[in-house]
Structure 1
Amino acid sequence: MIDLSPLVAAPGASSLPYSDPAFAGRPLVLHAARPRQWHPATPVLLVHHGVGRNGRDYRDYWLRHVDAANLLAIAIEFPEASFPQYLCYNFGNLHAAGGMANPRRQWTFGIGTRLFEQLREQGITSTDRYGLFGHSAGGQFVHRMLSFGYRDRIAVAVSANAGTYAMPDLSTAWPWGLGVTEVSTTDLRALLAFPLTIMAGTEDTKTTGRFFPGGPKSMRQGPTRHARAHAYLRSGQQAAARLSVALAWRLVDVPDVGHDGRLMSDAAAPLIADALGRDADR
């Protein structure tokens, strides 16, 4: 087991090579932002970067908030060399490049949950649940992760400016829906009842650039990332009505912000701090 204590040895920024037990020989990097008044009861936030695999930058986006928000932020960096392309990251490694399904133990969606358990085992946190934030490709990772469970230890989750969505629809095939996966109607009800926050920059409307998902199946979800976020919420509303369940999702539009990880982190910080604070008091 890797000693995680360097992440909280001193206030401010730190980084630590890390290996998940399910992915031996495929290194990750943990980038932590520790508040000055940290102690084991301090809430934990796990952060998922975008397609640039720039975990250090996302840690720094949150470094400016950890004291006011009273949280320990840890950005999990998935290096391209270890977890190549979108299959391993955005889509959670559910399938290999040839389309063969991987066993659940090899899904990258479980990495954060196992990291949190190690933080608990090593006494770095005494909290029962953690917060989750993902932007862009990280926003894809977060909402797809929640779609397959992994929710028991999560107090608050924010998916920001995702490029595409796994709609809560069992008739639409993965990864644009949840069809042809192990997700059942019962699982879908639990997903819709989870308090997911979808964040969308109102100016996230740029459709040029090599990282914008512009294929036909992606474009069916909407012409821009902002439009797709609203389509995801509508799909959740429709699914909740069909299944007679109260939808716990909400969508927060962030005015005058485009595809910007720093500004979306700034907008998410007070929402996450409030939710983690209330969770600590429960």
Structure 2
Amino acid sequence: MIDLSPLVAAPGASSLPYFDPAFAERALVLHAARPRRWHPGTPVLLVHHGVGRNGRDYRDYWLRHVDPANLLAIAIEFPEASFPQYLCYNFGNLHTAEGMANPRRQWTFGIGGRLFDQLRDQGITTTDRYGLFGHSAGGQFVHRMLSFGYRDRVAVAVSANAGTYAMPDLATAWPWGLGATEVAADDLRALLTFPLTIMAGTEDTKTTGRFFPGGPKSMRQGPTRHARAHTYLRRGRQAAAGLGVTLAWRLIDVPNVGHDGRKMSDAAAPLIADALRRNAEC
């Protein structure tokens, strides 16, 4: 077991190589932002970076927030060398490049929960649930992760500026929907009644970037990332109505912000801090 105490040894920024138990030979990096008044009861936020695999940057986006928000932020970096391309990250390693299904133990969606277990086992946190924030490719990771049931210990989850979505639709094949996966109607009900926050920058409308998902199946979700977030919410409402449940999702438009991880982190910080505070009071 890797000693995680260096992450909280001193206030401010730190980094630590990390190996998840299911991926013993694939290096991750943990980038932590520790508040000055940290103690084991301080709420924990796990942060998921974008396609640039720049966990250090995302840690730094949150560094200014950890004291006023009273939280310990840990950005989990998935280096390209260890977890190549979108299959291992955006899509959770459900399938190999040849389309063969991987066992659930090898899904990268489980890495954050196992890290939280180790933080608890080592006494670094005594909290019972954690927060989750992902931007861009990280936003894809977060909402797809939640789609497969990794929700029990998540107190608040924000998916921001995702490029594509796994629509809550069992008739649309993965990864643009949840069809041809283990998700069934009861699992879909549980997803729809989980309080997911979708955040979309109103200026996230550029379609010329190298990493903009522009294939035909992606374009069916909407012409821009901003439009696709609204499609995801609309499809959630339709699915909830069809299954007879009340949708717990919400969508927050962030005005005058484009595809910007720092500004979306700034917008998410107050609502995440409030949710983690309320969880600690329960």
Is TM-score (shorter-chain normalized) higher than 0.5?
yes
Q: What RMSD in Å do the two structures reach over aligned CA positions?
A: 0.2
Q: 2:255 matched to which residue of 1?
A: 255
Give the distance between the partners of 2:106 and 2:224, measured in 1 at CA.
Answer: 31
Alignment partner of 1:171: what SS? coil
> What is the TM-score of this pair, normalised by structure 2?
1.00
C-alpha distance after superposition, 1:159-218 (max 9, x if no partner) = 000000000000000000000000000000000000000000000000001100000000
C-alpha distance after superposition, 1:114-140 (max 9, x if no partner) = 000000000000000000000000000
Alignment partner of 2:194: what SS? coil
Alignment partner of 1:113: what SS? helix
C-alpha distance after superposition, 1:86-110 (max 9, x if no partner) = 0000000000000000000000000
Q: 1:32 matched to which residue of 2?
A: 32
In structure 2, list runs of 5 or more residues that go unmatched.
none
Give the distance between the partners of 2:120 and 2:3, measured in 1 at CA.
Answer: 12
1:214-253 correspondence to structure 2 within 5 Å: 214-253=214-253
- Residue 18 of structure 1 pairs with residue 5 of structure 2: no
Give the distance between the partners of 2:238 and 2:51, measured in 1 at CA.
Answer: 30
Give the distance between the partners of 1:42 and 1:252, measured in 2 at CA.
Answer: 26
Q: 1:189 matched to which residue of 2?
A: 189
Give the distance between the partners of 1:160 and 1:149, measured in 2 at CA.
Answer: 19
- Residue 7 of structure 1 pairs with residue 7 of structure 2: yes
Shift of 1:278: 0.3
Q: 1:180 matched to which residue of 2?
A: 180
In structure 1, list runs of 5 or more residues that go unmatched.
none
Give the distance between the partners of 1:232 and 1:209, measured in 2 at CA.
Answer: 22
C-alpha distance after superposition, 1:30-68 (max 9, x if no partner) = 000000000000000000000000000000000000000
Give the distance between the partners of 2:122 and 2:32, measured in 1 at CA.
Answer: 16
Give the distance between the partners of 2:153 and 2:122, measured in 1 at CA.
Answer: 17
Alignment partner of 2:6: what SS? helix
Give the distance between the partners of 1:271 and 1:259, measured in 2 at CA.
Answer: 20
Q: Which amino acid aligns with 1:130?
A: Y
Give the distance between the partners of 1:241 and 1:179, measured in 2 at CA.
Answer: 18
Give the distance between the partners of 1:151 and 1:143, measured in 2 at CA.
Answer: 10
> What is the TM-score of this pair, normalised by structure 1?
1.00
Q: 2:151 matched to which residue of 1?
A: 151
Q: Which amino acid aligns with 1:269?
A: A
Give the distance between the partners of 2:149 and 2:6, measured in 1 at CA.
Answer: 30
Shift of 1:24: 1.1
Q: Identity over the aligned pairs, expressed in percent?
A: 89
1:72-221 correspondence to structure 2 within 5 Å: 72-221=72-221
C-alpha distance after superposition, 1:208-256 (max 9, x if no partner) = 0110000000000000000000000000000000000010000000000
Give the distance between the partners of 1:120 and 1:90, measured in 2 at CA.
Answer: 27
Give the distance between the partners of 2:68 and 2:132, measured in 1 at CA.
Answer: 18
Q: 1:64 matched to which residue of 2?
A: 64
Give the distance between the partners of 1:7 and 1:163, measured in 2 at CA.
Answer: 31
Alignment partner of 1:40: what SS? coil
Alignment partner of 2:217: what SS? helix
Q: Which amino acid aligns with 1:274?
A: D
Give the distance between the partners of 1:278 and 1:24, measured in 2 at CA.
Answer: 36
Give the distance between the partners of 2:158 and 2:126, measured in 1 at CA.
Answer: 22
